[in-house]
Amino acid sequence: MNFAPKPSRKHIAHDWLEYLRESDGLGSILAKTEDLAKLKASLKIALNSLDLGHLSSKIEAGWRSGAKDELFLLANTASIGTRLQQNLPSLINELGKNGVFCKSIKVRIKPASPAWEVKPRESDKKSVAPRGLNEIAKKSWQELLDKLAPDSDLRKAVERLLQNKRK
Protein backbone atom coordinates (compact mmCIF):
# COMPACT_ATOMS: atom_id res chain seq x y z
CA MET A 1 0.00 0.00 0.00
CA ASN A 2 1.27 3.39 -0.92
CA PHE A 3 0.01 6.30 1.09
CA ALA A 4 -0.05 9.88 -0.10
CA PRO A 5 2.90 11.90 1.17
CA LYS A 6 2.22 14.01 4.22
CA PRO A 7 1.82 17.73 3.57
CA SER A 8 4.45 20.00 4.98
CA ARG A 9 3.47 21.55 8.28
CA LYS A 10 4.61 25.02 7.27
CA HIS A 11 1.55 25.79 5.14
CA ILE A 12 -1.30 24.34 7.22
CA ALA A 13 -2.70 27.64 8.50
CA HIS A 14 -2.54 29.16 5.05
CA ASP A 15 -4.31 26.14 3.55
CA TRP A 16 -7.13 26.41 6.10
CA LEU A 17 -7.56 30.10 5.35
CA GLU A 18 -7.88 29.31 1.63
CA TYR A 19 -10.35 26.54 2.43
CA LEU A 20 -12.47 28.95 4.46
CA ARG A 21 -12.50 31.49 1.64
CA GLU A 22 -13.33 28.97 -1.08
CA SER A 23 -15.97 27.02 0.81
CA ASP A 24 -19.53 28.19 0.30
CA GLY A 25 -20.81 27.92 3.88
CA LEU A 26 -17.64 28.69 5.75
CA GLY A 27 -16.63 31.55 3.46
CA SER A 28 -19.64 33.60 4.55
CA ILE A 29 -18.80 32.95 8.21
CA LEU A 30 -15.26 34.17 7.65
CA ALA A 31 -16.54 37.27 5.84
CA LYS A 32 -18.91 38.11 8.69
CA THR A 33 -16.14 37.59 11.22
CA GLU A 34 -13.83 39.92 9.29
CA ASP A 35 -16.61 42.52 9.03
CA LEU A 36 -17.21 42.36 12.78
CA ALA A 37 -13.48 42.74 13.44
CA LYS A 38 -13.41 45.86 11.21
CA LEU A 39 -16.51 47.19 12.97
CA LYS A 40 -14.91 46.63 16.38
CA ALA A 41 -11.75 48.46 15.26
CA SER A 42 -13.78 51.38 13.87
CA LEU A 43 -15.83 51.53 17.06
CA LYS A 44 -12.65 51.64 19.13
CA ILE A 45 -11.31 54.55 17.04
CA ALA A 46 -14.63 56.39 17.35
CA LEU A 47 -14.76 55.86 21.10
CA ASN A 48 -11.17 57.07 21.45
CA SER A 49 -12.03 60.28 19.64
CA LEU A 50 -14.92 60.81 22.11
CA ASP A 51 -12.62 60.13 25.10
CA LEU A 52 -14.47 56.86 25.76
CA GLY A 53 -11.74 54.52 24.54
CA HIS A 54 -11.50 52.78 27.90
CA LEU A 55 -15.00 51.39 27.32
CA SER A 56 -14.22 49.63 24.03
CA SER A 57 -13.23 46.35 25.70
CA LYS A 58 -16.54 46.31 27.61
CA ILE A 59 -18.75 46.66 24.53
CA GLU A 60 -19.72 44.10 21.90
CA ALA A 61 -20.85 45.46 18.55
CA GLY A 62 -22.85 43.90 15.74
CA TRP A 63 -25.36 44.66 13.05
CA ARG A 64 -29.03 44.08 13.72
CA SER A 65 -30.12 40.99 11.83
CA GLY A 66 -31.63 41.87 8.49
CA ALA A 67 -30.62 45.54 8.60
CA LYS A 68 -27.18 46.89 7.70
CA ASP A 69 -27.99 50.43 8.83
CA GLU A 70 -28.80 49.76 12.50
CA LEU A 71 -25.91 49.05 14.83
CA PHE A 72 -26.40 46.98 17.96
CA LEU A 73 -24.16 47.54 21.01
CA LEU A 74 -24.12 45.24 24.04
CA ALA A 75 -22.70 46.89 27.14
CA ASN A 76 -21.45 44.96 30.17
CA THR A 77 -23.08 47.26 32.73
CA ALA A 78 -25.89 49.77 32.90
CA SER A 79 -23.51 52.66 33.59
CA ILE A 80 -21.62 51.92 30.36
CA GLY A 81 -24.92 51.67 28.49
CA THR A 82 -26.00 55.05 29.85
CA ARG A 83 -22.71 56.68 28.83
CA LEU A 84 -23.16 55.30 25.31
CA GLN A 85 -26.78 56.50 25.14
CA GLN A 86 -25.67 60.01 26.07
CA ASN A 87 -23.09 60.06 23.27
CA LEU A 88 -25.04 58.33 20.47
CA PRO A 89 -25.27 61.27 18.02
CA SER A 90 -21.55 61.97 18.32
CA LEU A 91 -20.78 58.26 18.04
CA ILE A 92 -22.83 57.94 14.84
CA ASN A 93 -20.93 60.92 13.36
CA GLU A 94 -17.54 59.52 14.35
CA LEU A 95 -18.38 56.10 12.92
CA GLY A 96 -19.44 57.78 9.67
CA LYS A 97 -16.06 59.49 9.49
CA ASN A 98 -14.41 56.06 9.89
CA GLY A 99 -16.44 54.51 7.06
CA VAL A 100 -19.14 52.80 9.10
CA PHE A 101 -22.48 54.24 8.07
CA CYS A 102 -25.48 53.64 10.29
CA LYS A 103 -28.75 55.46 10.84
CA SER A 104 -29.31 54.38 14.43
CA ILE A 105 -27.64 52.57 17.27
CA LYS A 106 -29.43 50.37 19.80
CA VAL A 107 -27.71 50.00 23.17
CA ARG A 108 -28.61 47.04 25.33
CA ILE A 109 -27.21 45.65 28.57
CA LYS A 110 -25.62 42.21 28.34
CA PRO A 111 -27.41 39.73 30.59
CA ALA A 112 -25.40 38.30 33.44
CA SER A 113 -24.03 34.84 32.82
CA PRO A 114 -25.89 32.06 34.63
CA ALA A 115 -22.64 30.67 36.04
CA TRP A 116 -22.10 33.85 38.06
CA GLU A 117 -21.74 33.27 41.75
CA VAL A 118 -20.22 34.99 44.73
CA LYS A 119 -17.02 33.27 45.71
CA PRO A 120 -15.43 33.80 49.10
CA ARG A 121 -12.06 35.46 49.21
CA GLU A 122 -9.15 33.13 49.48
CA SER A 123 -7.67 35.26 52.25
CA ASP A 124 -10.74 34.76 54.41
CA LYS A 125 -10.33 31.57 56.36
CA LYS A 126 -13.25 29.76 57.85
CA SER A 127 -13.95 31.11 61.28
CA VAL A 128 -13.14 28.55 63.91
CA ALA A 129 -16.03 27.95 66.27
CA PRO A 130 -15.00 28.50 69.87
CA ARG A 131 -14.37 25.29 71.75
CA GLY A 132 -15.59 25.05 75.30
CA LEU A 133 -17.30 27.69 77.37
CA ASN A 134 -16.09 31.20 77.93
CA GLU A 135 -15.38 32.35 81.47
CA ILE A 136 -18.73 34.03 82.04
CA ALA A 137 -20.72 31.02 80.82
CA LYS A 138 -18.56 28.62 82.84
CA LYS A 139 -19.11 30.74 85.99
CA SER A 140 -22.85 30.86 85.37
CA TRP A 141 -23.10 27.08 84.93
CA GLN A 142 -20.95 26.57 88.05
CA GLU A 143 -23.29 28.81 90.10
CA LEU A 144 -26.27 26.78 88.87
CA LEU A 145 -24.47 23.56 89.78
CA ASP A 146 -23.89 24.84 93.33
CA LYS A 147 -27.61 25.60 93.75
CA LEU A 148 -28.82 22.15 92.60
CA ALA A 149 -29.45 19.19 94.92
CA PRO A 150 -26.63 16.59 94.95
CA ASP A 151 -28.85 13.71 93.76
CA SER A 152 -30.64 15.71 91.01
CA ASP A 153 -30.62 14.50 87.38
CA LEU A 154 -30.20 18.10 86.27
CA ARG A 155 -27.08 18.40 88.45
CA LYS A 156 -25.58 15.33 86.75
CA ALA A 157 -26.33 16.83 83.32
CA VAL A 158 -24.71 20.15 84.25
CA GLU A 159 -21.65 18.31 85.59
CA ARG A 160 -21.30 16.42 82.32
CA LEU A 161 -21.68 19.69 80.42
CA LEU A 162 -18.91 21.32 82.42
CA GLN A 163 -16.63 18.26 82.01
CA ASN A 164 -17.16 18.01 78.22
CA LYS A 165 -16.87 21.74 77.47
CA ARG A 166 -13.44 22.37 78.99
CA LYS A 167 -11.18 24.77 77.07
Whole-number Å distance between alpha carbons of 167 and 157: 18
For the entire predicted model, the pTM comes to 0.53
Parse the chain into domains and list their residue ranges. Answer: 20-109, 135-164
Tell me the HSE value of 100 on the side-chain side, using a 13 A CA sphere.
Answer: 26
Per-residue pLDDT of the chain (167 residues; tens, 9 = 90+): 677 776 666 655 566 666 666 656 576 777 788 888 898 999 999 999 988 888 888 898 888 776 677 888 999 889 999 999 999 999 999 988 988 888 888 899 988 766 666 666 766 666 666 677 788 888 888 898 899 888 889 989 988 888 877 65
pLDDT on residue 82: 92
User: Closest by alpha carbon to 74, among 49, 39, 122?
Assistant: 39
CATH class of 20-109: alpha beta
The DSSP H or E segment spanning 154 is helix 153-164
